[in-house]
Copies of this chain bind each other. A is one copy, B any other.
Amino acid sequence: MSAGVAPNAVAAVSEGRLWQRLMEMGEIGGFEFEGGHKGVNRPCLSALDRTARRLLISWAEKMGASVTIDPAGNLFLRLEGEDPSLPAVLTGSHMDSQPQGGRFDGIYGVLAGLEAIEAIATAGIRPKRAIEVVAWTNEEGGRYAPGCTGSMSFTGFKPMSEFDDLVDRDGIRYADALAEQMEAESDLAKRPLGYAPHAYLEAHIEQGPRLEVERKEIGVVTGIQGSRWFTVTVEGRSDHAGTTPLALRRDAVQDMVRAIGALNQLMHDPDDVLRFTVASIKVEPDTSNSVANKAVFTIDFRHPDKAVLLARGDAIAGVVQAAMRSCTATVHERFHALPVDFAETATGAVAAAAQAQGLSSLALPSGAFHDAQFLVPVCPTGMIFIPCRGGVSHHPSEHAEPVACANGARVLAQALLSLANS
């Protein structure tokens, strides 16, 4: 990269255009929320998802990017390089949201990627390698858990077929939802699944409070903490709530409450680094005057230290079993991702770009998981965080300032160029 080139591309990043596109995307699946907030509910592989993808494609085609999709439904926008035979530099994120999500998580990384390649093209720069912007299928896991099925399929972390039989709340299989999307997008050019990019960068809101609290403009992400997801099923017996003495009951709700209490003890962390969440609960028969015969709850457990992640995660099943008074419990681990460290090649390009632009930065690990973690085994990978208000995400009040969004896109443009010319 010549020293004079990147600033032109950086200057061509348009804060107004990027913001306008974020707001326009926020209307697709958007809803009004209390407090004047505008939330987004845009499930993956839905009609809303496809509407959003068509809008993205229209912008990409207007700026001259070529558009392809792979068999996992991942969508690619390519700015061609001088040597099309070289592995491309990849950037992007996802376009699906949580059921009650916000206007920035995921979609920001896709639009920042588009903004970066549009700025590079506008500046008349042709990098050595192509730069591709990807929108990964189903990162959130809101409709089909676990998430990141698109990036896991792309990198071979899991075979695509592994996700076929996931079902959403309406009983629709993942394979069928994906087939419906492929059919709806059959006019788009196909590409094979996966390749080894030269590097991967993902821009994202921080989803935590550190950048805001420490007044830093750019987060240079050093890695992603590990995640383990479990489903616990507690089974007892239904009885009449008015007649059955408590001593004779096998009450699934009560044993679930005991299990959650015991898990709170297991997961206690005075440093508040460990993340332990029970967020989804289903009981049966779910009628107020019949003792529950079944209670199913989820565990989301994360930690940046592999040793802690393994030791406490492995202890979950035993702690749950020990908490059962009269019911039986089964613990199923449905997602297991160890902590990952990003490569210096990628993190260095991000740090250098921030420094060159005079932006303050902070090196920090990611608390959330991202598609980026599945790219780590196949190429040098990094992420760029921008501050978000109060660290809030997965909520309609999620917010990033226009200038913060533009800062992230400018750092991304420069870092992508640096990597694409290396």
- A→B interface (CB under 8 Å): 98-100, 140-142, 145, 147, 206-209, 225, 227, 229, 237-248, 251, 253-254, 257, 260-261, 264, 269, 272, 274-281, 283-293, 295, 298-300, 302, 366-369, 391-395
Contacts and interface: CB of A to CB of B under 8 A. Distances in A.
B300 A243 contact: no
A145 to B, nearest CB: 6
Most chain B CB inside 10 Å of its own CB: which residue of A237, A238, A291: A238
A99 B293 CA distance: 12
A209 B277 CA distance: 40
Q: Which 10 A-B pairs have the closest CB atoms?
A: A243-B367, A288-B298, A241-B277, A208-B243, A242-B368, A207-B243, A241-B300, A290-B394, A245-B272, A100-B285
Contact of A278 (B240, B254, B272): B254
A299 B292 CA distance: 12
Contact of A209 (B145, B248, B295): B248
B272 A279 contact: no
A229 B241 CA distance: 11
Given A239-B395, A257-B261, A275-B242, A286 B290 contact: no
Given A140-B289, A208-B243, A280-B286, 20 more contacts: A98-B289, A99-B286, A100-B293, A141-B288, A142-B287, A207-B242, A229-B289, A239-B395, A241-B275, A241-B302, A243-B366, A243-B393, A244-B367, A245-B272, A246-B275, A254-B260, A261-B261, A279-B291, A281-B281, A281-B283
Contacts of A145: 287-289
A127 B369 CA distance: 78
Given A272-B245, A283-B281, A240 B207 contact: yes
Number of copies: 2
Contacts of A242: 207, 225, 227, 275, 300, 302, 367-369
Contacts of A246: 269, 272, 274-276
Nearest to A271: B245
A221 to B, nearest CB: 12
Contacts of A238: 100, 394-395
A242 B301 CA distance: 8
Given A239-B392, A239-B393, A393-B243, A281 B286 contact: yes
B393 A237 contact: no
Nearest to A292: B279
Contacts of A245: 272, 275
A393 B240 contact: yes
A98 B286 contact: no
Nearest to A209: B248
Most chain B CB inside 10 Å of its own CB: which residue of A237, A246, A368: A246
B225 A247 contact: no
A253 B243 CA distance: 28
A285 B208 contact: no
A288 B300 contact: yes
Contacts of A142: 287
Given A261-B261, A272-B245, A287 B283 contact: no
Contacts of A237: 395
A253 B229 contact: no
A18 to B, nearest CB: 23
A199 to B, nearest CB: 24
A396 B281 CA distance: 24
A284 to B, nearest CB: 8
B283 A288 contact: no
A240 B368 contact: yes
A157 B285 CA distance: 29
Contact of A277 (B206, B289, B298): B289
